[in-house]
Structure 1
Amino acid sequence: MLKKTVGGVGNFSQPSSPNKNKIWTKPFITAVLVVLALAVISLFTGVYDISGKEDGWDMFFITRVPRTTALLLTGAAMALSGLVMQLITQNKFVEPTTTGTTEWAGLGLLFVYILFPSPSLSLRMLGAIVFSFIGTMIFFLFLRRVKLRSSLIVPIIGLMLGAVISAFSTFIGLFFDMSQNIANWFIGSFAPIQAGRYEYLWLIIIITILVFLLADRLTIAGLGEDVAKSLGLNYNTIVLIATMLVAVAVGIVAAVVGNLPFLGLIVPNIISMMRGDDLRSNLPWVCVLGMGVITLCDIISRTIISPFEISVSVILGTVGAVVFIYLLLRNRKPKGARAR
């Protein structure tokens, strides 16, 4: 079994059991069925009476189906982004929220609104993708200059960078009288999703396929730059490609839905604790669990104060903060105590 310690966060190991490399196992099929059940519940959750109104089924296909589809695709995108970022940064506390990537995406959206008063969805998406990529590369440049690479220093740098970018975005928004755009972006919600406003999320399937094709290389890159280069891998190229894929995924989600905190932190860590850190075998699990978590949170957001709904980012932020604190406390335990 191959073991290593990454970024000071516990022991990472590749699964040694052949069964862990199989995808269609009973637990995985059960997880898929649970997610499908949540999707069905999502389709029939809402204030509008689908069966009792004359245009009920028209509304079903205009709003409910797009919303549920967007939930599934977004859950897979953000969970996948977190998994890839954790591999290439060698830190379990890293995801788009804790690296400033989402804040950079918001800044990109703001600049698009400044340059183009009524931008199309594709234009907003392009701006978010470009700024997400730039911001993530800046984060990596910061990491290269930091000698102390403990498990907490890396996300702290990302959170500080994100706070600076968020403050700058707020200043720009107030200066150009666009603070409403910033507020709408921070309130990540699926309420505005309807037919014609979510279709770009289908690109996430292409990103998922590309990550799966690069899975072995990304796993090797997760062993560290020295090890990756000794195995003949072009480390800088694979990190650049991974950053581009993450930027595209985060940019699409930011343009269509908004800010969704901690989803990329929760899901990969749960899967890692259960199955180890082999990207190829974990990727289907991460996508499915990401779909399930965000769909469940959205159902809660629609029912907790029905007939009104709260932003799904509030539910995700609450759950994510609890998981983040748990991971911090778990990481502080001595290895011997953790094993017992």
Structure 2
Amino acid sequence: MWLAAGGLLLLALASLFVGVADVTPSALLDPQTRAATLEALTASRLPRTAALILTGSSLAVAGMIMQMLARNRFVEPSTAGTIEAASFGMLMMLIFFPGAPVILKMTGSAAAALVGTAFFVYLIRRIPAHSPLLVPLAGIMLGAIIGSVTAFIAYRANLLQSLGAWRNGDFSLVISGRYEMLWLTLAFTLAAYLFADRFTIAALGADISRNLGLDYEKALAVGLAIVAAVSAIVVTTVGSIPFLGLVVPNLVSLAVGDNQRRALPWVALTGALLVLSCDMAGRLIVYPYEIPVGTVFGVVGGLVFLFLLLRRPARAS
């Protein structure tokens, strides 16, 4: 754990000095360039790095909660309709309450994400237990339906550009004053850690959970609320990152098992490390231009997803 935390710290420090602007230790030490370099560092590089860490860790944890509650390894917010529902809620807030504060728009987005995720949970309870691959398929279909309706409304309201920004994670516009809402995801990640044992028991199923004395409905409601809130905050701030909440919990479970209290710190660290790495790769591949981190991770996550799908189909549920 200490080695992983140290690796994250080193990667975060490296992220501060990667980009078009000349932000280097020598520029910080030079009296002639110190002021401009320090301004670029505090206004752009530090907020971007913090946003990457918060987004990566919180989305990975949200994916782990989704997998435990749905009892399926191939479920995460982007394969359960949660991201699409959050985008739909944000679009409705923009149309009907364009002058509302950001926190109010985010609340509307979270409410829509919660409804969409709850409907997904209701839907998968009707899927036969011996068909685990139908669960993510149902979530993808649900997300496609919600996304199509959202795209049609956005087209009629001339808001397709905004919708495209929510669907693809991009940190190039993150500056001081435009990312601070992401710090709320830290609070929800800590809440997930406090409820980790309950989520672990809930993953055994409703009947076993009740026999062990757990209020299953309460644990389910708390988990769905955390997933919906994190998804809404991330979508409205930087956009979505596909497959992040799917591949990270699966990779961590291969190493440390399914106990959430033990696995959650590893999931958070791994998610932050992967997002930071993909963002730095996106800044360097076509330098001085930039590839959005959502695109880079979509490729990496898709390949890992295929690996997981082919590696252990018998353990998918």
TM over 0.5: yes
How far residue 313 of structure 1 moved from its aligned partner, in angstroms, is 0.5
Mapped pair 1:324 → 2:297: no
Q: Which residue of structure 1 aligns with residue 6 of structure 2?
A: 33
Q: Which residue of structure 1 aligns with residue 230 of structure 2?
A: 249
Is the 8 Å Cα contact of residues 89 and 112 (structure 2) preserved in structure 1? yes
Whole-Å Cα distance in 2 between the matches of residues 196 and 115 of structure 1? 25
Give a deviation string over 1:130-157, Cα, whole Å, max 9, x none: 1111110010111122234522011000
Q: Which residue of structure 1 aligns with residue 20 of structure 2?
A: 47
Mapped pair 1:311 → 2:292: yes
Give a deviation string over 1:201-248, Cα, whole Å, max 9, x none: 111221122111111111100111111111111111110111001111
Residues 171 and 330 of structure 1: is their aligned pair in 2 closer, same or farther, counting only changes over 3 Å?
same
How far residue 113 of structure 1 moved from its aligned partner, in angstroms, is 1.1
- 1:1-340 equivalences in 2 (<5 Å): 28-50=1-23, 51=27, 52=33, 54-332=35-313
How far residue 310 of structure 1 moved from its aligned partner, in angstroms, is 1.0
Whole-Å Cα distance in 1 between the matches of residues 108 and 240 of structure 2? 15
Whole-Å Cα distance in 2 between the matches of residues 45 and 191 of structure 1? 12
Question: The residue matched to 2:312 in structure 1 has which SS?
Answer: helix
Question: The residue matched to 1:55 in structure 2 has which SS?
Answer: helix
How far residue 160 of structure 1 moved from its aligned partner, in angstroms, is 0.3
Whole-Å Cα distance in 1 between the matches of residues 19 and 307 of structure 2? 33
Deviation larger for 148-157 or 314-323: 148-157
Question: The residue matched to 1:309 in structure 2 has which SS?
Answer: coil
Report the residue type matching 1:266 in the other structure: V
Provide structure 2 residue ranges, at least 5 long, that are not aligned to the other structure.
28-32
Whole-Å Cα distance in 2 between the matches of residues 43 and 142 of structure 1? 44
Whole-Å Cα distance in 1 between the matches of residues 165 and 187 of structure 2? 28
Residues 134 and 68 of structure 1: is their aligned pair in 2 closer, same or farther, counting only changes over 3 Å?
same
Number of aligned residues: 308
Report the residue type matching 2:3 in the other structure: T
How far residue 332 of structure 1 moved from its aligned partner, in angstroms, is 3.4
How far residue 319 of structure 1 moved from its aligned partner, in angstroms, is 0.9
Report the residue type matching 2:4 in the other structure: A
How far residue 186 of structure 1 moved from its aligned partner, in angstroms, is 1.7
What percent of counterpart residues are identical? 40
Is the 8 Å Cα contact of residues 75 and 136 (structure 2) preserved in structure 1? yes
Is the 8 Å Cα contact of residues 76 and 246 (structure 2) preserved in structure 1? yes
Give a deviation string over 1:73-108, Cα, whole Å, max 9, x none: 111110000111111111110100110100111111
Whole-Å Cα distance in 1 between the matches of residues 257 and 119 of structure 2? 29
Whole-Å Cα distance in 2 between the matches of residues 124 and 116 of structure 1? 8
Residues 255 and 334 of structure 1: is their aligned pair in 2 closer, same or farther, counting only changes over 3 Å?
closer
Is the 8 Å Cα contact of residues 99 and 139 (structure 1) preserved in structure 2? yes
Whole-Å Cα distance in 2 between the matches of residues 133 and 33 of structure 1? 35
Whole-Å Cα distance in 2 between the matches of residues 253 and 330 of structure 1? 30
Whole-Å Cα distance in 2 between the matches of residues 334 and 91 of structure 1? 9
Question: The residue matched to 1:288 in structure 2 has which SS?
Answer: helix
TM-score using structure 1 length: 0.87
Root mean square deviation, CA, Å: 1.6
Deviation larger for 240-249 or 54-63: 54-63
Q: Which residue of structure 2 aligns with residue 338 of structure 1?
A: none
Give a deviation string over 1:15-39, Cα, whole Å, max 9, x none: xxxxxxxxxxxxx111111111110
How far residue 334 of structure 1 moved from its aligned partner, in angstroms, is 9.6
Deviation larger for 293-302 or 196-205: 196-205
